[in-house]
Structure 1
Amino acid sequence: MSEDSPTRRRTRAAIVRAAVSVLARRPEASLAVIAAEAQVSRSTLHRHFADRGDLERAAVAQSVEDITRATVDARPEHGAPLEALTRVIAAYVGVGDRIRFLFHDPRLLGAHSDLADFAAADGPVLALIARGQRDGSMDSAVGAGWIEQALWALVYAAAEAVDGGLLPGHAAAETVARTLVTGIGGDADREAG
């Protein structure tokens, strides 16, 4: 089998997906558990990844890529700010396991340089929030960075709630949007209320 055959790429991708899924829930999980989740042998896992650090780096890189792609696909620069924010929230809930993986284990944040690239996903969201603050649909008295952090935290909480059976998956994006928008509603919303 070629070093970069389609089968090898699919196997590698399955191992990375399994690592994200397992490590988001149990950062201490063994490579054997990850291999079982990927439905491969441990020796197959090691043919693709020399050690745990190698697998974690691949999982971080793939997670950052998936979140960045979700951000771009949500088109945060188009439409009314609250509509665009709703799309971003739905996109992030769709990659909630990756967000949960990246933020569940604090040592990942400092241990993998790939996370520096994660800032690429932040720019469009901060610009969206600033646009909403300028048009009054989002609270201008709250920092854009704080709103963005609240967004990440709510998506993380939703992923955990869905996994724990506290929130049905189909309601996660709407619940995050309702919670966030209620908290950051602009001045016009406050005057009406």
Structure 2
Amino acid sequence: MGTDWRRFPDREHLRSALTSDSWAVLHAAIVEAAPGAGPVLEVIDRVVSAMVYVGDRVLFLFASAEGNPSDADTSVANAVDELLVAEIERGQRAGELDATVPAQWIQRMVWSIVYTGLHATGDGLVARHGVDDLIRWTLRGAISAR
């Protein structure tokens, strides 16, 4: 099943539609990871797995807008960030995550390490099926309580 490219008047409209769809798919994957259900590190593991599962969408978002959403996508992008930050703050309150740094710093670490892992799979450095564990291991070392 292919995309009917003729539905879009030009390349910019197509890119915009793909970007909006990618944000929506990423948001749905993170919601499905059940934020708030269980220990924070386990939730973050599930969120990372969700991000890797829709990794092509994540890479597309970084490539198309360098991670900055358009005005049309701001609300769903903010919802993605709010889910992650809320989980991080919960982990900081519970003593599972490093509380000496801002939650937004940890959120950026999550995005950075996921992006790095996904990019490494594209470069052939790591197999896609094994990158989940590597990302989680690296992330836990970076954000766990000291």
Deviations 1:48-72 (A, max 9, x none): 2110111011101110001100110
> CA shift at 1:105, angstroms?
3.7
1:96 pairs, out of 49, 55, 79, with: 55
Alignment of 1:58-97 (within 5 A): 58-97=17-56
Matched, 1:147 2:106: yes
Alignment-derived partner of residue 92 in structure 2: 133
Structure 1 ranges of 4+ moved more than 4 A = none
Higher relative contact order (CA 8 A, sep 6+): 2
RMSD value over aligned CA atoms?
1.6
Question: What amino acid does structure 1 have at the position aligned with 2:2?
Answer: T
For structure 1, the 5+ residue unaligned runs are 1-9, 13-43
Superposition pairs of residues 10-21 of structure 1, within 5 angstroms? 10-12=1-3
Matched, 1:114 2:72: yes
**Structure 2 CA distance for partners of 1:136 and 1:157, relative to 1, 3 Å:** same
- The answer to whether the 8 Å contact 1:139/1:185 transfers is yes
Q: Is the 8 A contact 1:154 1:176 kept in 2?
A: yes
TM-score of the two chains, using structure 1 as the length reference: 0.70
CA offset digits 1:51-101 (Å, max 9, x no partner): 011101110111000110011000011000111111001001111111111
Bigger Cα Rg = 1
Question: Is the CA contact 1:126–1:148 (under 8 Å) kept in the aligned structure 2?
Answer: yes
User: What is the CA–CA distance in structure 1 between the aligned matches of 2:20 and 2:79, rounded to whole Å?
Assistant: 13
Once residues 50 and 61 of structure 2 are traced to their aligned partners in structure 1, the CA distance between those partners, rounded to angstroms, is 16
Spell out, residue by residue over 1:16-44, the C-alpha distance to the aligned partner (whole angstroms, 9 max, x if none): xxxxxxxxxxxxxxxxxxxxxxxxxxxx6
Residue 11 of structure 2 is matched in structure 1 by 52
Within the candidate set 138, 142, 146, 1:183 is matched to: 142
| CA distances 1:146-185 after superposition (whole Å, capped 9, x unpaired) | 1111111111111111111001111111111111111111
Retained in 1: the 8 A contact 2:89–2:103? yes
Query: What is the DSSP-based 3-state SS (H/G/I as helix, E as strand, rest coil) of the residue aligned with 2:9?
Result: coil
Q: How many angstroms does 1:108 deviate by?
A: 7.5
Q: Give the TM-score of the pair, scaled to structure 2.
A: 0.92
- Structure 2 unaligned residues grouped into runs of 5+: none
Aligned-residue identity in percent: 34
